Chain A
Amino acid sequence: MSDRLSVLKTYKLYVGGKFPRSESGRVYEVTDTEGGWLANAPLASRKDARDAVVAARKAFGGWSGATAYNRGQILYRVAEMLQGRREQFAAEVAAAEGVSPAAAAAQVDAAVDRWVWYAGWSDKVAQIAGSANPVAGPYFNLSSPEPTGVVAVLAPQESSFLGLVSVLAPVIVTGNTAVVVAAERAPLPALSLAEVLATSDLPGGVVNLLSGRTAELAAPLAAHQDVNALDLTGAGAELATELETAAADNLKRVLRPRAADWTADPGTERLLAFLETKTVWHPMGV
């Protein structure tokens, strides 16, 4: 046992590419599964959520307008950065979820691989989700997927890191920007992921990470008129119903919670959930 006192990290939110404290000045105690103190995490407020939406909206034009190749490169860069900090994340996951170091490391490895999987989708999703439509007339007619916009994501509660990556990567790879509410009781891996994102050429505001009470943060996000979609993965049934009801006010696209095995092959469901299909008609004539 070294007698050197280690330097602890002050965990902060990640909003608009910056690392602010909660504007409310509040924090809450994050513990390991045994109840031991790990850190004080920001207890983000409704105003933090609002600021995150503003940042996400501001980033949307640039991120959705970037080439798919560029977005893929950046997601792959996230994987690279994460790989380099594998041990840190394994330790954080182990502490947060009370799993063995080996199991935690396996989760981090899976998370790295997930970034790689989704990185490769950036320039392929339009080819599987788009179509050339043979209409009965002299028209060129093409359907292509486009990102929905600002997506509020309630990260899964039970899988603080692999689950988080599994819901976040598919949202942003297609050009959406995200406001993510981290797992309420285990937000530290998520807040640390922000440090990886910030050093991976990901433009500020594309991902905004909040820690705090899921229900408190989700309510304003579900009701926010400038949020286009809502991933309810991290909400319980009762909260999910409330949020889906609130989301109807501006007809957000809602992904309902369902049981998930985060280690399984993710498929394309989440990738396709936050896309709009745009169909363009143009006459063909001389």
Chain B
Amino acid sequence: MPTTVPAYGKEAAGRLAAMADVTASDGALRRFLHGLPGVDAVGLQARAATLGTRSIKTSAKAYAIDLAISMIDLTTLEGADTPGKVRALCAKGVHPDPTDRTTPKVAAICVYPDMVATAKEALAGSGIHVASVATAFPAGRAALPVKLADTRDAVAAGADEIDMVIDRGAFLSGRYLAVFEEIKAVKEACARPDGSAAHLKVIFETGELETYDNVRRVSWLAMLAGADFIKTSTGKVAVNATPPVTLLMLEAVRDFRAATGVQVGVKPAGGIRTTKDAIKYLVMVNETLGEEWLTADWFRFGASSLLNDLLMQRQKLSTGRYSGPDYVTVD
């Protein structure tokens, strides 16, 4: 196996260049993606369900809860968002449980591009990243220059991470190279003048791609195009992150690292609301990728209400009593 380099590092580009032959043309890319092993849906779902039966108790649960909190991209993506709402969310991200300062902070606050500056200011010095959705989120139906401008605007406003959406229409109609080129272009737009770059998360909207074969193909496509993270969903459609889809993406990330040495992160988003759910995802990461991925650098939860459930469970573990919604903060 090649030595591991992070997807966001300088060396990753060289590794991807070694795979250039498979992305040289639409035909080559199609042949490559369609040559990936198929996915048996029932078997995949059964494996995810079995991992979901792991019983995580006591010290392991405490560890998992803190880990999950530290992996949250605490998100508000509403038309009604205001600077006040965003600042409140940032405050919560820094001190999720005001009554217990040992509670870890979240990984990032995820907002629309026009709220990036507000979030950046509110989080100054906290170490929490600002993530911004971009590229005409959530539908992605805009011209490429608009998407790139959207991205550059968010980066210029201080976004540490960009959560782009792919062109699902192009993918479903088989124009794989168009999707590939667009991701590459957005990755370039993530560059800052000082030579650094915002990390790029690529959202597939797996609920719209529908088949697991599509999810495996799009995962490889995005990683070949330079994705730093691959992300399931926008949270804006009927089907968001599911354990089987996430497991499949974890397997793709595992196989991509084995093939290229490039380590890519994974972010399930949407629909993960309970501690029990979050722990199931962590078990999947643990048993599919191992501890190398068990940090906020390589695994994130795109979520909002999940945090309060984690906090209530955390309080239960430390006090022995069941907590209630009045003992965690509304955002």
Same assembly: yes
Instruction: List residues of A whose CB falls within 8 A of some B CB.
Output: 137-139, 283-286
A-B contact pairs, 16 of them (CB 8 A): A137-B42, A138-B42, A139-B42, A283-B40, A283-B41, A283-B42, A283-B43, A284-B42, A285-B40, A285-B41, A285-B42, A285-B45, A286-B41, A286-B210, A286-B211, A286-B212
B152 to chain A, nearest CB (A): 38
Question: What is the bound-complex CA distance between A285 and B212, given in angstroms?
Answer: 10
B309 to chain A, nearest CB (A): 30
Chain A residues positioned under 8 Å from B45 (CB to CB): 285
Interface SS of chain A: loop
Question: What is the bound-complex CA distance between A74 and B211, given in angstroms?
Answer: 48
Question: What is the bound-complex CA distance between A284 and B45, given in angstroms?
Answer: 12
Question: What is the bound-complex CA distance between A91 and B41, given in angstroms?
Answer: 67
Question: What is the bound-complex CA distance between A243 and B40, given in angstroms?
Answer: 48
* In the complex, residue of chain A having the shortest beta-carbon distance to the beta carbon of B244: A285
* In the complex, residue of chain B having the shortest beta-carbon distance to the beta carbon of A284: B42
Chain A residues positioned under 8 Å from B210 (CB to CB): 286
Chain B residues positioned under 8 Å from A286 (CB to CB): 41, 210-212
Number of A-B contacts (CB under 8 A): 16
Question: What is the bound-complex CA distance between A132 and B212, given in angstroms?
Answer: 27
* In the complex, residue of chain B having the shortest beta-carbon distance to the beta carbon of A286: B211
Question: What is the bound-complex CA distance between A139 and B43, given in angstroms?
Answer: 11
A63 to chain B, nearest CB (A): 35
Question: What is the bound-complex CA distance between A241 and B45, given in angstroms?
Answer: 53
Interface SS of chain B: helix
- Inter-chain pairs besides A139-B42, A286-B41, 14 sampled, C-beta below 8 Å: A137-B42, A138-B42, A283-B40, A283-B41, A283-B42, A283-B43, A284-B42, A285-B40, A285-B41, A285-B42, A285-B45, A286-B210, A286-B211, A286-B212
A17 to chain B, nearest CB (A): 45
A246 to chain B, nearest CB (A): 45
Residue-wise, chain B 177-198 has the 8 Å CB interface mask toward A (1 for contact) of 0000000000000000000000
- Max chain A C-beta neighbours (<10 A), residue from B42, B210, B211: B42
Chain A residues positioned under 8 Å from B42 (CB to CB): 137-139, 283-285
Chain A residues positioned under 8 Å from B212 (CB to CB): 286
* In the complex, residue of chain A having the shortest beta-carbon distance to the beta carbon of B213: A286
Question: What is the bound-complex CA distance between A283 and B39, given in angstroms?
Answer: 12
Residue-wise, chain B 206-241 has the 8 Å CB interface mask toward A (1 for contact) of 000011100000000000000000000000000000
Question: What is the bound-complex CA distance between A153 and B18, given in angstroms?
Answer: 68
B120 to chain A, nearest CB (A): 42
* In the complex, residue of chain B having the shortest beta-carbon distance to the beta carbon of A285: B41
Chain B residues positioned under 8 Å from A139 (CB to CB): 42
Chain B residues positioned under 8 Å from A137 (CB to CB): 42
Question: What is the bound-complex CA distance between A138 and B212, given in angstroms?
Answer: 16
* In the complex, residue of chain B having the shortest beta-carbon distance to the beta carbon of A282: B42
The 3 A-B pairs at the shortest CB distance, nearest first, are namely: A285-B41, A283-B42, A285-B42
Chain A residues positioned under 8 Å from B43 (CB to CB): 283
Question: What is the bound-complex CA distance between A138 and B45, given in angstroms?
Answer: 11
B303 to chain A, nearest CB (A): 27
Chain B residues positioned under 8 Å from A284 (CB to CB): 42
B242 to chain A, nearest CB (A): 13
* In the complex, residue of chain A having the shortest beta-carbon distance to the beta carbon of B43: A283
* In the complex, residue of chain A having the shortest beta-carbon distance to the beta carbon of B42: A283
A138 to chain B, nearest CB (A): 5
- Max chain B C-beta neighbours (<10 A), residue from A138, A139, A284, A286: A286
B55 to chain A, nearest CB (A): 23
* In the complex, residue of chain B having the shortest beta-carbon distance to the beta carbon of A137: B42
A153 to chain B, nearest CB (A): 44
* In the complex, residue of chain B having the shortest beta-carbon distance to the beta carbon of A138: B42
Question: What is the bound-complex CA distance between A138 and B40, given in angstroms?
Answer: 12
Question: What is the bound-complex CA distance between A171 and B122, given in angstroms?
Answer: 85
Question: What is the bound-complex CA distance between A138 and B211, given in angstroms?
Answer: 16
Question: What is the bound-complex CA distance between A215 and B212, given in angstroms?
Answer: 63
Question: What is the bound-complex CA distance between A137 and B43, given in angstroms?
Answer: 12
* In the complex, residue of chain A having the shortest beta-carbon distance to the beta carbon of B44: A285
Question: What is the bound-complex CA distance between A138 and B244, given in angstroms?
Answer: 15
Chain A residues positioned under 8 Å from B41 (CB to CB): 283, 285-286
Question: What is the bound-complex CA distance between A247 and B210, given in angstroms?
Answer: 55
Question: What is the bound-complex CA distance between A137 and B212, given in angstroms?
Answer: 19
* In the complex, residue of chain A having the shortest beta-carbon distance to the beta carbon of B40: A283
Question: What is the bound-complex CA distance between A283 and B43, given in angstroms?
Answer: 8
A228 to chain B, nearest CB (A): 34
A285 to chain B, nearest CB (A): 3
* In the complex, residue of chain A having the shortest beta-carbon distance to the beta carbon of B41: A285
Question: What is the bound-complex CA distance between A139 and B41, given in angstroms?
Answer: 11
Chain B residues positioned under 8 Å from A283 (CB to CB): 40-43
A282 to chain B, nearest CB (A): 9
In the complex, chain B residues 40-84 whose Cβ is within 8 Å of any chain A Cβ: 40-43, 45
Question: What is the bound-complex CA distance between A284 and B43, given in angstroms?
Answer: 10
A67 to chain B, nearest CB (A): 31
Question: What is the bound-complex CA distance between A137 and B41, given in angstroms?
Answer: 13
Question: What is the bound-complex CA distance between A120 and B42, given in angstroms?
Answer: 40
In the complex, chain B residues 71-129 whose Cβ is within 8 Å of any chain A Cβ: none
Question: What is the bound-complex CA distance between A162 and B106, given in angstroms?
Answer: 87
A167 to chain B, nearest CB (A): 45
* In the complex, residue of chain A having the shortest beta-carbon distance to the beta carbon of B210: A286
* In the complex, residue of chain B having the shortest beta-carbon distance to the beta carbon of A283: B42
Question: What is the bound-complex CA distance between A286 and B39, given in angstroms?
Answer: 9
A204 to chain B, nearest CB (A): 44
Question: What is the bound-complex CA distance between A47 and B128, given in angstroms?
Answer: 87
